C-alpha cells in the first residue's frame, strides 16, 4: 500500500498494490502438514508454501468456519495444542447459533470437537407403547420402537420410578 500524491505532493488517497503485499505471518506456529510458515490469507489463514500455480503445493488452510473467522490467537491455539477452547457464535446450516471447541485432524482439517455422547444405558423402565425396556440416553428415556421422553423436565430429573408411575397411571403423584 502506498500514498497517492498529486503533483504538489499533497496526499490524495491510498493506493493498493497487492503484488507488494508481504504476507502476514502467524508467529510461533508451523503448518501441521509441511512445517512451513502459516500466513494470513484473504480467506483466513493458510500455509505459505501454497501456490495456486502448483497443484502439488501444500494446501493447508483455515477459512471461515460456520460463519466465524478465527482470531489469530485461536489459530495458534489450534496449531499448538491441536484444539481450542469453546468458540462462540457458530451458525449451523439450520440458522441455529452454537458454541463449540475446534480440533485439528491429522489430515490438517479443522472440525468441531463435540464431546462424545454418553452411550445409552439400560433401565428397568417399560415402554408404554410396546412394553420393551427403555434405555436412558443423555436427554431421553428412549425405546427401540421410537418412543422417547425427556428425563429432565424444567431442570428436574425424573427418576425411573416416577416415569413408571406416569406411564402406568397417566400421571404422577408428586407435582
Ligand atoms: Zn504446509
Ligand atoms: Zn417401545
Sequence spans of domains, the chain: 20-112, 121-169
Check pLDDT > 60 for residue 18. Answer: no
Give the ranges where the chain is alpha helix by DSSP (H).
72-81, 160-169
Confidence of residue 86 (pLDDT cuts 50, 70, 90): very high
Provide the β-strand partners of residue 2: 15
Average pLDDT of the chain? Answer: 89
- Cα(76) to ligand 2 centroid in Å equals 49
Confidence check: pLDDT of 163 > 60: yes
51 alpha carbon, closest ligand? 1
Do 45 and 59 contact (CB within 8 A), yes or no? Answer: no
The rounded Å distance from CA 141 to ligand 2 centre is 10
CA 34 to ligand 1 center in whole angstroms: 4
pLDDT digits 0-9 by tens, 109-159: 999 998 777 788 999 999 999 999 999 988 899 999 999 999 887 778 888
Predicted pLDDT at 23: 83
**What pLDDT was estimated at residue 143?**
95
Alpha-carbon distance values, 159 to 123, 124, 168, 175 (Å) = 10, 11, 14, 13
Inter-residue contact 82 to 107 (CB < 8 Å): no
Interval between CA 41 and ligand 1 midpoint (Å):
13
Q: Which residue has the higher pLDDT, 116 or 70?
A: 70
Q: How far is the CA of 168 from the centre of ligand 2 (A)?
A: 14
Residue that has been written with the C-alpha cell 512451513 in this structure: 36
| pLDDT, position 175 | 55
Which ligand is the nearest neighbour of the Cα of 59?
1
Q: How confident is the model at residue 37 (pLDDT cuts 50, 70, 90)?
A: very high
Amino acid at each position: 500500500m502506498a500514498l497517492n500524491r498529486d503533483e504538489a505532493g499533497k496526499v490524495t488517497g491510498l493506493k493498493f498494490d497487492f503484488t507488494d503485499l508481504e504476507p502476514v505471518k502467524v508467529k510461533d506456529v508451523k503448518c501441521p502438514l509441511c512445517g512451513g510458515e502459516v500466513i494470513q490469507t484473504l480467506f483466513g489463514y493458510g500455509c505459505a508454501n501454497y501456490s495456486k500455480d502448483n497443484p502439488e503445493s501444500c494446501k493447508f488452510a483455515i477459512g471461515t468456519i460456520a460463519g466465524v473467522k478465527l482470531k489469530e490467537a485461536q489459530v495458534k491455539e489450534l496449531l499448538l495444542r491441536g484444539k481450542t477452547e469453546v468458540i462462540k457464535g457458530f451458525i449451523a446450516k439450520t440458522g441455529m447459533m452454537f458454541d463449540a471447541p475446534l480440533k485439528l485432524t491429522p489430515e490438517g482439517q479443522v472440525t468441531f470437537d463435540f464431546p462424545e455422547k454418553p452411550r445409552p444405558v439400560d433401565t428397568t423402565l417399560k415402554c408404554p407403547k410396546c412394553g420393551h425396556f427403555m434405555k436412558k440416553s443423555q436427554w431421553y428415556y428412549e425405546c427401540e420402537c421410537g418412543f422417547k421422553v425427556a428425563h429432565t423436565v424444567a431442570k428436574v430429573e425424573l427418576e425411573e420410578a416416577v416415569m413408571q408411575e406416569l406411564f402406568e397411571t397417566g400421571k404422577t403423584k408428586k407435582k
